Structure 1
Amino acid sequence: MPFIDIFSDYSALDYVSDIVDILVVWFVIYKLIMLIKGTKAVQLLKGIFVIIIVRGLSSIFGLDTLGWMMEQALTWGFLAIIIIFQPELRRALEQLGRGRLFSRTGLQEEEEQEQMIESMTKAVSYMAKRRIGALLTLERETGMSDYIETGIPLDAKISSQLLINIFIPNTPLHDGAVIVQKNQIAAAACYLPLSESPFISKELGTRHRAALGVSEVTDSITIVVSEETGAISITKNGELHRDLSLERFREILTLELIGDKTNASSTKWSFRGKKENG
């Protein structure tokens, strides 16, 4: 009866208030997870969860010394979190100050994607005509912070002029890959892992091998402009689509970044170094 009496004191407004409270907390947690997604903070969070699990198991099995150690780690861990997560916390506060942390909508994101596709199409068209070699990787679900750290940080808004300028031969940033993260150029002159597949055509150079290599270990999309022929290629999931027309290039990017689920099966990726479609 006391249990029933507790709930009898709740009004409809109390129930609504509790539900809203829970939803807001989950939304904040979701936004924080999205903020640190793809950074080293994710791995550190996993470590914290491991410590919590070990602490619980030590209590169950009576491992007092181990439990005390985990207790100390958790007690002083809050200070460590502030120090370790300092870049992520600063970025979150900056976005909150600009009003951007919770303001992004699906329509805004789609507009940003369209602008990015337009900028990349213009840049690729210019470079292909003049046979300017380029390597451009778009981060998706798999974080690419480790590769970004190998390059020169830019954190710049994407524009066709900037992309072209980066890849102009004999400039400081032209060698290596540009990595796009969250619709911005995160870094240039980045090193990507080379594919070791024995099926790669011998005519493909280092840029194509790097594009295939990163597509084998992440779900990123990588764009290559050949320095020798000016041909445009795209890699994804360890597959290469070569010698694309500018219209086909735009079509694939639009399909992958914005999406058209009804026509998803029409995009065919061909690779393995035998009969690449052109």
Structure 2
Amino acid sequence: MGSFPSIGIVDFLDILLVAILVYWVFLLLRGTRAVQILLGLFLVSGMYLLSRKIGMVTFQWVVGNFLGGIIVILVIIFQGEIRRGLAKIGQARLFGRTTLGEGSDFLEELARTAYRLSDARIGTIFLLERDTGLSEYLEHGKKIDAVFSYELLVALLSPASPVHDGAIVIREERIAAAGIILPIPAETSWTRSMGTRHRAAWGVAVETDAVAVVVSERTGNVTVFYDRKVQPVENMGELLETLRDRFRK
């Protein structure tokens, strides 16, 4: 009876790294159309293997040529996911998350402001910048660089304001820009039930590490988007706790 091959520390690390890579790819693709595309590719590959077994020469030739360029095809199809994945690797920090200011006073003011806007049924999107810069989004709005205050936000978000429809970027406790028109991502199983404002916030949370706080104009509900997660919050205290957790050192 043959003995089992010995597994050394290098083999263990090899298996562990592959497992982490597979898990990371799964998290990256979860909730996107890429999952359906991968399932389709697996199905085509299975049909190709079956065609080889039963001798379907024409089908085998067509699909074989298609699969021959699969690496290039995958790079083209998943270029968005690859870009986001590499960006997330670049965002990795050894010593914890980025903080928004040194204390929690600003986050408390932001949470209070969000619920004052909610009570007044004034809808908006706050984009809280973290490690990934949001400069590309600022180009689609009006740069302001002003002290954060409820009074200024009410003026910016009033129907008479030319920037009332767009998102607001918060950078280092200041209003960096307003009236930002965000791209609307393609509909997925995760976003099918969302409105336009929430889908736009989801898109930013997928593309960057920013935290998006959405105040619904219709219902007054407040929702937080971050790291491909959607978290409705019930009150100011819950919102504040969520924000503190995202910006904790």
Query: What TM bracket, shorter-length normalisation?
Result: 0.5 to 0.7
Cα distance change of structure 1 residues 228 and 107 upon mapping to structure 2, 3 Å threshold: closer
Of 246, 254, 264, the match for 2:244: 254
CA distance 1:214–1:108, change in 2 (3 Å): closer
Equivalent residues, number: 152
Cα contact 1:135–1:178 (8 A) shared by 2: yes
2-structure distance, mates of 1:175, 1:132: 10
Alignment partner, residue 147 of structure 2 = 157
Q: Where do residues 28-39 of structure 1 align in structure 2 (5 Å cutoff)? A: none
Higher-RCO chain (CA-CA 8 Å, sequence separation at least 6): 2
Shift in alpha-carbon separation, 1:161–1:230, aligned structure 2, 3 A: same
Assess if the C-alpha contact under 8 Å between 1:134 and 1:224 holds in 2: yes
Question: CA 1:196–1:238 in structure 2 vs 1: closer, same or farther (change >3 Å)?
Answer: farther
Q: In the alignment, what sits opposite 1:109?
A: 101
Q: Which runs of 5+ in 1 are unaligned?
A: 1-105, 260-278
Deviation of the 1:202 alpha carbon: 4.2
Task: Report if the CA contact (8 A) 1:132-1:169 is conserved.
Answer: no
CA distance in 2, matches of 1:209, 1:232: 14
Matches of 2:242 and 2:233, distance apart in 1: 13
* 2:121 paired with 1:131: yes
Q: Which residue matches 1:223?
A: 213
Query: Is the deviation greater in 161-170 or in 143-152?
Result: 161-170
Tell me the equivalent position of 1:25. none
Question: Hey, what's the Cα distance between the residues in 1 that align with 2:234 and 2:184?
Answer: 22
Over 3 Å counting, the alpha-carbon distance change for 1:240 and 1:196 in structure 2 is same
- Give CA-to-partner distance per residue, 1:223-276, whole Å, 9 cap, x none: 0001110000000012211243221101101111234xxxxxxxxxxxxxxxxx
Overall identity of the aligned pairs, in %: 33
Q: Specify whether residues 215 and 107 from structure 1 end up closer, same or farther in structure 2 by C-alpha distance, changes over 3 A only.
A: closer
Alignment of 1:1-278 (within 5 A): 109-111=101-103, 114-259=104-249
Structure 1 residues 235, 107: closer, same or farther in 2, change over 3 A? closer
Tell me how far apart the structure 2 counterparts of residues 239 and 107 of structure 1 sit (CA, whole Å): 19
Tell me the TM-score normalized by structure 2. Answer: 0.56
Which amino acid in the other structure matches residue 140 of structure 1?
Answer: R
Using the alignment, how far apart are the partners of 2:101 and 2:213 within structure 1?
21
SS in 1 for 2:107: helix
Unaligned segments of structure 2, at least 5 residues: 1-97
CA RMSD after TM alignment:
2.2
Higher-helix-fraction structure: 1
Give how far 1:121 is off. Answer: 1.6
1:169 offset after TM fit, Å?
Answer: 3.0
Residues 188-212 of structure 1: per-residue CA shift (max 9 Å, x gap) = 0012222224113544211101100
CA 1:205–1:197: 2 relative to 1, 3 Å? same
Query: How far is 1:109 from its partner?
Result: 3.4
Alignment partner of 1:117: what SS? helix
Provide runs of 4+ in structure 1 moved above 6 Å: none
